Structure 1
Amino acid sequence: MASGASKSAAFMLLILNMGLYFLMIVIGSWAINHGIVRSRETAAILTIPARIFPIYFPMGNLATGFFIILSLLAGVVGFTSSITGLHNVFLWNAPNLHAAYASSLASLSLTLLSMGLMLMPSHSVST
């Protein structure tokens, strides 16, 4: 745990992770901004249940808005987790590594949720 090679590998992976989460924030922010700008003209033709949601996304289907908002949330939590992970790599002791693990687990679960990979129990249909 105290070797310099694993510390430098963790540092480089955290830099890459921070860059990818920043890209996720930029794309999610652009999509929300695009949905807000275009919602007035495109949501006027929809029926009542779809018109209630204030942001209508012209791309995808009606579930796209929820996935974009979840991906923006996962991007912010993941970026913050990467920054705290960098701090924990610099300190490199057992309590800080456990804190980095807990925050990375939270960002991983939000990222999986934003990708639509929710763990749902399988329902068997009997005929």
Structure 2
Amino acid sequence: MADYMKPVALLLLLLNMCMYIILAVIGGWAVNIAVERGFIIGPDLRLPAHFHPIFFPIGNFATGFFVVFSLIAGVFGIASGIVGFTHLHFWNYHSLQPAATFSLLAWGLTVLAMGLACQEISFDRRNAKLGTMEAFTIVLTVTQFFYVLAIHSGSQGAVPVERRGNFA
């Protein structure tokens, strides 16, 4: 495998891992706020007219979906980082497959969360920590994509061990 891409992949992996951890921590904070400050409905009370299925007292109507998908993307990103460290340790064809799979899943979920972040930005009325979460999600979409490209370009010319050798 092309060893010149290994340092680039390591740098992107460390950056993404730190950012995904921060994304998951802020997402956990937002879920905690929603649980603590959510609606309390008594037996004889009705739901408010603008009740949202995923209600967050901070932010706007897109916040609930954005936080949930960002939290899921953060967990997949952390898993992608763990598998990515294993791939960087071995740096062979067999470790590439799980690393590529997890990184592509994490990138796809991050793109979904980025779309919701853009929707939330367009609505205004949001918390400063949610603004940080939106910025991290948008930056992670780009850096995770470059990480996927780095591990795939590092695998150019990689052939499984079973196919090497003399076929005569």
Deviations 1:9-53 (A, max 9, x none): 212221111000000001100011011111136xx89625616x3
Partner of residue 61, structure 1: 60
Task: Say which SS state the counterpart of residue 58 (structure 2) adopts.
Answer: coil
Partner of residue 107, structure 1: 106
Task: Say which SS state the counterpart of residue 64 (structure 2) adopts.
Answer: helix
Q: How many residue pairs were aligned?
A: 112
Partner of residue 36, structure 2: 37
Partner of residue 162, structure 2: none
Taking a change above 3 Å as real, the CA distance of residues 16 and 45 of structure 1, as seen in their structure-2 partners, is farther
Partner of residue 47, structure 1: 48
Write the letter of the residue equivalent to 1:11.
L
Gaps of 5+ in 2: 117-168
Q: CA separation in 2, counterparts of 1:99 and 1:115?
A: 24
Q: CA separation in 2, counterparts of 1:27 and 1:36?
A: 14
The answer to which structure, 1 or 2, has the higher relative contact order (CA under 8 A, 6+ apart) is: 2
Partner of residue 73, structure 2: 74
Q: What is the TM-score when the length of structure 2 is the normalising length?
A: 0.59
* Alignment RMSD (CA, Å): 2.3
Q: CA separation in 2, counterparts of 1:58 and 1:73?
A: 20
Higher CA-based Rg = 2
Q: CA separation in 1, counterparts of 2:112 and 2:5?
A: 29
Taking a change above 3 Å as real, the CA distance of residues 75 and 112 of structure 1, as seen in their structure-2 partners, is same
Q: CA separation in 1, counterparts of 2:57 and 2:50?
A: 16
Q: CA separation in 2, counterparts of 1:8 and 1:98?
A: 19
1:38–1:56 contact (8 Å) kept in structure 2: no
Taking a change above 3 Å as real, the CA distance of residues 49 and 58 of structure 1, as seen in their structure-2 partners, is closer
Task: Say which SS state the counterpart of residue 51 (structure 2) adopts.
Answer: helix
1:85-104 aligned within 5 A: 85-104=84-103
1:58, distance to aligned residue in structure 2 (A): 1.7
Write the letter of the residue equivalent to 1:23.
I
Q: CA separation in 1, counterparts of 2:111 and 2:9?
A: 21
1:78–1:104 contact (8 Å) kept in structure 2: yes
Task: Say which SS state the counterpart of residue 115 (structure 1) adopts.
Answer: helix
1:2, distance to aligned residue in structure 2 (A): 3.9
Q: What is the TM-score when the length of structure 1 is the normalising length?
A: 0.76
Write the letter of the residue equivalent to 1:50.
F
